[in-house]
Amino acid sequence: MPAIFSRSLDFYVRQLGVGLVVGVSLFSIGFYYYALPSYTRVGYTPEQPVPFSHQLHVGHLGMDCTYCHQAVFEGPHANVPASQTCMNCHNPKKANVKGTSPLLAPVRMSFETGSPVEWKRVHKLPEFAYFNHAVHVNKGVSCVSCHGQVNEMKVITHDQVLSMGWCLKCHNAPEKSLRPVSEVTNLTWARGKHEDDGTAIKKNLAVNPPMNCQSCHR
Amino acid sequence: MCRRLALVPTGPTAAPVGRPLNVIHEPEFMMTATHTADTHTSHGPKFPEPLPRIPLVWGPATYDSLSEQISEITEKGQPAWWWPAFLISASLLTGGIVAATYLISTGIGVWGSNNPVNWAFDITNFVFWIGIGHAGTLISAILFLFRQRWRTSINRFAEAMTIFAVICAGIYPGIHVGRFWYAWFMFPLPNANHIFQNFRSALLWDLFAVSTYFTISLIFWYIGLIPDLGTLRDRAKSRTRQLIFGFLSLGWRGSTRNWRHYEVAYLMLAGLSTPLVLSVHSVVSFDFATSLIPGWHTTIFPPYFVAGAIFGGFAMVLQCMIPARAVYKLDNVVTIKHIDVMCKFILATGTLVGYAYCMELFIAWFSGNPYEWQTFKDRAFTGDYVWAYWVMMTCNLFIPQVFWIRWCRQTPWFVLIVVTFVNVGMWYERFVIIVQSLHHDFLPGSWGQFYPSWVDWLQMIGDFGLFFTLTLLFIRCLPMIAIAEVKGVLPMANPHGHPVAEDKYLKGEDGQYPTEDHAMAAEYGAPAHASTEVKPSPTPVPAFIPTAGGNGTPWGAVAEFANGTLLLAAAKATVAAGYKHVDAWTPFYVHGMKEAIGRTRSRLPLFTLAGALTGLTAAVAMQFYLMAYYYPTIVGGKEYRSWEAFTPIFFEMTVLFAGFFTLFSLIGLCGLPRFFHPLDSHPTFNRSTQGGFFLTIEAKDAKFNPDTARAFMESLGGKHVAVVEA
């Protein structure tokens, strides 16, 4: 009876086995690198209709975050400012800072017609996650913790992971990220050497971040 | 005279003269009337001689006839009923697929499950199918450990049923979560949410138990199939069949060097499966027992569920086996005695289950717990589901009691009717436990009814369609009886056996058949004696056989022998002559052969142990790290590090890893897959997986010389002697 398979098959089958192990390992590693929010979301930098530079307004001119995002200490959302806010300075009929710049045309148009500038949303939490800005900033969590060094960004970029696991890191050990409430919008603030490490702030502000499901998934 | 019909060991008998001391004598177990008493005591009452043993395979079966009888089922066209049966099953399955698709695309609301009965047909069917599987593992593992060798005729079929039943069951946890595409949330995979499962939840234990059970059953089944796939490959006429079974059998040729690992691997898996099968349904019962619902919250659940699973499983084995046995004329292999014994199992476990029903009822009253008692009163006497309860009682407790009567156990069509009732009853048992308990719990305000929707029905019928489709395909494509194992229990397979004269076969000293069973078995004829002549080769065997792409040097010498006894003697003589690289190739493991070729016990159990320790370590590390440090979670008011509720997953992962290590070490130690072998060129070597017995001396042996080796093997009585090119 002649042999069913050729002599070299056994060698190829073993090679295939090794190849399979290597392939599956590479796929798993690749999957965990490319499919998680640390890759898919961090670094998202869409081009905006108006090239508004936070670096210029916050970093150089020293404007406070709350000048534009007024609602952040009071409401769940850190609102995107209305064109009205921009026009406080850029209105050609008043302060007239760059009042005729073509780059600002969409803002002027919006101010005149009342329809908002169509900013591209950068930071978006899933709808099943409840997040309240006010409670975070009022308990000493700085803007910089979630949005990065906005004062250095010419164009806003998605700086942090913003995944559930990322949230939980801070909820597990909040003191590392707490600072005096007065310094929340100070993006260049750094903890002094002899200053409290956040434990006292945590105690004073009664920071007790919830770890149960329903605090965010209501 | 105290004659008892029993399945009991007769115990190791005194070793016959001349047997090497290192050969452990396996106690023989057979289905027959035996005496449990010691027959060689010098004092006390004198007992009569034991009755002659009824062989496990009836009639004059030989290795070749068995290979042919069972392989032919997959080789020839199917009988006329097969296609209609398959089409019906497949269309039922299609209904199930439609139901599942509708459910997934629309939502879980298409089922009738709703407050307060949130688990209904889905979990009823899940538990029903998981239970069905248990008979397979009981037969393949527990009866193996107890050396009940009659299991060889039914274990393949039952194991296949286990796998198909677990597949049917596994559908439900997948689809009843509603969002099917999130089913991977059930597995502890690292994810961006940094959350893991609650390892103290009975539902997660269930996931680990069922997936481990499925994996180990599959490994066990496949390992058991390997020698038979080799038989199918070697019998195959068409190129396609040769390729398919050649791949699937991994190049198994029946080498004793492989058999010695194989036998130990099988034992290891049987040892792993035994606690596993008991754990699976216990864990399934924890899904209910660890909750607080009256009717669920009882400690009797684990043993009660396990007994019920074996009960229902045996019923399903008989349900499928009796028709298959009749259609394919397997009554000499799956004898009336097999059906008889399985009916006894059904009787025993059915009575256990009945005891549990009564005990539940009694405890509900005796505990003085008003919620428990009102639930059971509602269940058995006053409620909306009283009919279901009494269907269950009738089918599971009362009807199987007919198996006390011998006629009822030994009449296949009657058994078929009874086991149908048992299957119905076992479905109702789960329905009663789940639906009745939920519809009537603590608050009258939350009492409610369950109405199944058409999707529920279609899904359930579809599951039966899936099961029977798979079973029919299995019958069509794979050997439904473990050929190699059955060969090993033939009387002629015992190399130390002494055949009985035909006219005294199964008769007592008085020349009469001692029991009706003896007479029934004798009707099939006396067992064949082992052949003393080698089957002639279809083509003349040359002295030197070239191989495709060979390098001109010899691989070794090969000789064929007529039976295992001759081969055993020849192997011993070869080793005694100073050859070291000797191997024997046999269709089943011939007792004593590994010692005869100069090998010892396999070291495979060390790998199994390594796997078990790896699994245990992984389970300990995973659960403590995740539950106490990574995302500290309090469950049931216990401290983070309380370990008790981690135990089920400790166990399951230990078994899972041990099973994988056993499989891979078996493949590795046997050097499989080995698709090409020089011996394949020998014209009769393909009989090594059917009825041929071969001895080889390899060229790497220092003493090897092609001419002297050939002459030596011829002097031993070997036929078809040849030297094969490497």
In terms of domains, do A193 and A96 share one?
Answer: no
| Domain contains A204 | yes
- Candidates A3, A13, A164; nearest CB to B681: A3
Q: Which residues of A touch B195 (CB under 8 A)?
A: 164-165, 168
| Domain contains A156 | yes
A146 or B179, greater pLDDT: A146
Q: Which residues contact A11 (CB under 8 A, 6 or more apart)?
A: none
Q: Which of B688, B137, B224 is nearest to B485 (CA)?
A: B224
What is the spatial distance between Cα B354 and Cα B102, in angstroms, rounded to a whole number? 39
CB contact under 8 A, B194 and A163: yes
> Rounded to a whole number, what is the distance in Å from the CA of A160 to chain B's nearest CA?
13
Query: Quick one: which H or E segment has residue B693?
Result: strand B693-698
In terms of domains, do A170 and A68 share one?
Answer: yes
Q: What is the pLDDT of residue B213?
A: 95
**CA of B538: which chain A residue's CA is closest?**
A1
Written as six digits, the tokens of A36 are 């998680």
CB-based contact (8 Å) between B242 and chain A? yes
Q: What is the pLDDT of residue B33?
A: 40
Domains of chain A: total: 3
CB contact under 8 A, B549 and A6: yes
A173 or B6, greater pLDDT: A173
- Does residue B485 surpass a pLDDT of 70? yes
Q: What is the pLDDT of residue B179?
A: 84
In terms of domains, do A180 and A102 share one?
Answer: no
What is the spatial distance between Cα B619 and Cα B654, in angstroms, rounded to a whole number? 8
CB contact under 8 A, A3 and B680: yes
- Does residue B653 surpass a pLDDT of 70? yes
CB-based contact (8 Å) between A170 and chain B? no
Mean pLDDT lowest for which of A209-213, B254-258, B342-346, B453-457? A209-213
Q: Is the C-alpha dihedral spanning B13, B16, B22, B28 positive or negative?
A: negative
Query: Domains of chain B (ranges plus CATH)?
Result: 1-54 (no CATH), 75-482 (1.20.1630.10)
Q: Which residues of B touch A4 (CB under 8 A)?
A: 233, 242-243, 246, 675, 680
In terms of domains, do A105 and A63 share one?
Answer: no
Cβ B151 vs Cβ B144: under 8 Å:
yes
Q: What is the pLDDT of residue A90?
A: 93
| Domain contains A49 | no
- Candidates B191, B676, B684; nearest CB to A3: B676
CB contact under 8 A, A1 and B682: yes
CB-based contact (8 Å) between B547 and chain A? yes
In terms of domains, do A88 and A145 share one?
Answer: no
CB-based contact (8 Å) between A201 and chain B? no
Q: What is the pLDDT of residue B137?
A: 87
| Domain contains A3 | no
CB-based contact (8 Å) between A34 and chain B? no
CB pairs under 8 A between A and B: 65
CB contact under 8 A, A165 and B195: yes
- Alpha carbon distances (Å) from B680 to B46, B674, B707: 57, 11, 21
Residue at token pair 């079974």: B245
CB contact under 8 A, A3 and B686: no
B664-715 residue pLDDT tens = 999 999 998 999 999 999 999 999 999 999 999 999 999 999 999 999 999 9
In terms of domains, do A97 and A201 share one?
Answer: no
CB contact under 8 A, A1 and B194: no
Burial of B244 (0-12, 13-18, 19+ CB in 10 A): middle
**CA of B540: which chain A residue's CA is closest?**
A1
B19 or B665, greater pLDDT: B665
Q: What is the pLDDT of residue B31?
A: 43
Q: What is the pLDDT of residue B42?
A: 59
| Domain contains A17 | yes
Q: What is the pLDDT of residue A212?
A: 85
CB contact under 8 A, B675 and A13: yes
Mean pLDDT for chain B? 89
- Candidates B194, B242, B549; nearest CB to A168: B194
Residue at token pair 């329809």: A115
CB-based contact (8 Å) between B81 and chain A? no
How would residue B52 be classed by pLDDT, with cut points 50, 70 and 90? confident
Written as six digits, the tokens of B183 are 């089913």
In order along its 218 residues, chain A shows pLDDT tens digits of 678 899 999 999 999 999 999 999 999 999 999 999 999 999 999 999 999 999 999 999 999 999 999 999 999 999 999 999 999 999 988 888 998 899 999 999 999 999 999 999 999 999 999 999 999 999 999 999 999 999 999 999 999 999 998 998 899 889 889 999 999 999 999 888 767 778 889 999 999 999 888 999 98
- Candidates B548, B673, B682; nearest CB to A7: B548
- Does residue B45 surpass a pLDDT of 80? no
- Does residue B506 surpass a pLDDT of 60? yes
In terms of domains, do A169 and A61 share one?
Answer: yes
Q: What is the pLDDT of residue A1?
A: 61
Q: How large a percentage of chain B has pLDDT more than 90?
A: 75
In terms of domains, do A21 and A69 share one?
Answer: no
B386-444 residue pLDDT tens = 999 999 999 999 999 999 999 999 999 999 999 999 999 999 999 999 999 999 888 88
Across the range B148-156, mean pLDDT stands at: 92
CB-based contact (8 Å) between A7 and chain B? yes
Q: Which of A155, A146, A167, A139 is nearest to A53 (CA)?
A: A155
How would residue B381 be classed by pLDDT, with cut points 50, 70 and 90? very high
Write down the ipTM of this complex.
0.81
Written as six digits, the tokens of B533 are 């002549």
How would residue B334 be classed by pLDDT, with cut points 50, 70 and 90? very high
How would residue B14 be classed by pLDDT, with cut points 50, 70 and 90? very low
How would residue B43 be classed by pLDDT, with cut points 50, 70 and 90? low
Q: What is the pLDDT of residue B1?
A: 37
Domain edge (last residue) among A102, A118, A134: A118
Question: By residue range, what is the domain housing residue A16?
Answer: 12-40
Domain edge (last residue) among A96, A118, A140: A118
Q: What is the pLDDT of residue B32?
A: 42
Q: Which among B178-182, B439-443, B628-632 has the top mean pLDDT?
A: B439-443
CB-based contact (8 Å) between A125 and chain B? no
Q: What is the pLDDT of residue B34?
A: 41
Domain edge (last residue) among A69, A97, A118: A118
B102 or B529, greater pLDDT: B102
For residue B48, cis peptide bond before it (omega within 30 degrees of 0): no
> Rounded to a whole number, what is the distance in Å from the CA of A155 to chain B's nearest CA?
26
Q: What is the pLDDT of residue B420?
A: 96
CB contact under 8 A, B192 and A7: no
In terms of domains, do A133 and A175 share one?
Answer: yes
What is the spatial distance between Cα B439 and Cα B427, in angstroms, rounded to a whole number? 18
CB-based contact (8 Å) between B551 and chain A? no
DSSP SS3 for A24:
helix
In terms of domains, do A76 and A146 share one?
Answer: yes
Please state the pTM of the whole predicted model: 0.89
Q: Which residues of B touch A163 (CB under 8 A)?
A: 192-194
Residue at token pair 């670096």: A55
What is the spatial distance between Cα B72 and Cα B58, in angstroms, rounded to a whole number? 19
In terms of domains, do A137 and A191 share one?
Answer: yes
Q: Which residues of A touch B193 (CB under 8 A)?
A: 163-165
CB-based contact (8 Å) between A18 and chain B? no
**Backbone torsions φ then ψ of B692, nearest 5 degrees:** -105, 150
- Candidates A7, A38, A163; nearest CB to B676: A7
**CA of B236: which chain A residue's CA is closest?**
A4
In terms of domains, do A69 and A97 share one?
Answer: no
How would residue B633 be classed by pLDDT, with cut points 50, 70 and 90? confident
